[in-house]
């Protein structure tokens, strides 16, 4: 039985193959507002393909907003970086399932950004972007945090009690100003630090799962001899 979502990637290689176009096209997380970015990239072939993939899956009764497609491209760049960091930290990234745009069962047509699935662990991962307005950015974080908590509870109520369901919100910043043709170095540094925090969170939870495996428990028993 398959997981019904926009995409389900089995490991780093699968996700990188899907998102390679972002590196080829040198995609950047731009400072410009989403509406303006849609006007700039809305005729891009990759943009069109993502919309088509979503609509073909019939994941929502609501019409897809073009701005959402831009955020998929932004967050896919971040997920690529995250998987590299997990690999560097010794995690077998090929054993991680990345579920993109997952419509929650009994979730009133809500969708999670990503689910990171490993063994008996489900991480509900939501992204939010701080951009122009500080007050609205704070409101967006609060909204995203509440959404992730709600999604965690919905999933947790439906799966076995043996499954650990946790949530995480990562706030990222624009890394490039297209108008000024300027790299936003401090923002890129912020995103890197946030990804490091997220990777440490995932590593901690993944290693906990590994320690509960039958093999690890037998090895622990042997250490008592």
Q: What is the pLDDT of residue 109?
A: 77
Q: What is the mean pLDDT of residues 134-158?
A: 81
Q: What is the pLDDT of residue 218?
A: 74
* Tens digit of each residue's pLDDT (9 = 90 or more) over 16-26: 999 999 999 99
Pair 156, 105: CB distance under 8 Å: no
Q: What is the pLDDT of residue 39?
A: 96
* Tens digit of each residue's pLDDT (9 = 90 or more) over 95-127: 999 999 999 987 677 899 999 999 999 999 999
Per-residue pLDDT band at 133 (split at 50, 70, 90): low
Q: What share of the chain is helix, strand, coil (3-state, %, to 5)?
A: 55, 20, 30
Domain ranges of the chain: 7-222
Q: Which residues contact 141 (CB under 8 A, 6 or more apart)?
A: 128, 130, 169, 171
Pick from 30, 27, 49: which is nearest to 175 by CA? 30
* Tens digit of each residue's pLDDT (9 = 90 or more) over 201-223: 999 999 988 887 777 767 766 66
How many CB atoms are located within 10 Å of the residue 163 CB? 14
Q: What is the pLDDT of residue 126?
A: 95
Strands (E) across the chain are located at: 7-10, 97-103, 111-118, 121-129, 164-172, 176-177, 182-183
């Amino acid at each position: 039985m398959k997981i019904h979502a926009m995409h389900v990637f089995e490991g780093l290689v699968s996700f990188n193959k899907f998102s390679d176009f972002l590196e080829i096209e040198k995609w950047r997380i731009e400072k410009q507002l989403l509406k303006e970015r849609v006007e700039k990239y809305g005729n891009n072939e990759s943009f069109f393909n993502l919309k088509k993939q979503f609509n073909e899956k019939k994941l929502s009764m609501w019409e897809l907003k073009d701005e959402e497609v831009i955020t998929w491209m932004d967050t896919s760049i971040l997920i690529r970086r995250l998987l590299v960091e997990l690999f560097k930290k010794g995690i077998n990234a090929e054993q991680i399932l990345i579920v993109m745009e997952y419509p929650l069962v009994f979730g009133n047509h809500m969708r999670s950004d990503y689910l990171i699935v490993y063994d008996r662990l489900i991480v509900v991962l939501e992204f939010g972007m701080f951009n122009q307005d500080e007050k609205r950015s704070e409101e967006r974080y609060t909204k995203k945090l509440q959404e992730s908590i709600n999604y965690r509870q919905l999933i947790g109520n439906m799966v076995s009690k043996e499954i650990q369901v946790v949530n995480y919100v990562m706030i990222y910043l624009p890394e490039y100003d297209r108008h000024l043709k300027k790299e936003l170095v401090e923002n890129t540094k912020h995103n890197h630090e946030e990804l490091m925090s997220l990777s440490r969170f995932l590593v901690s939870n993944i290693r906990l799962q590994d320690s509960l495996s039958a093999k690890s428990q037998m090895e622990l028993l042997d250490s008592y001899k």
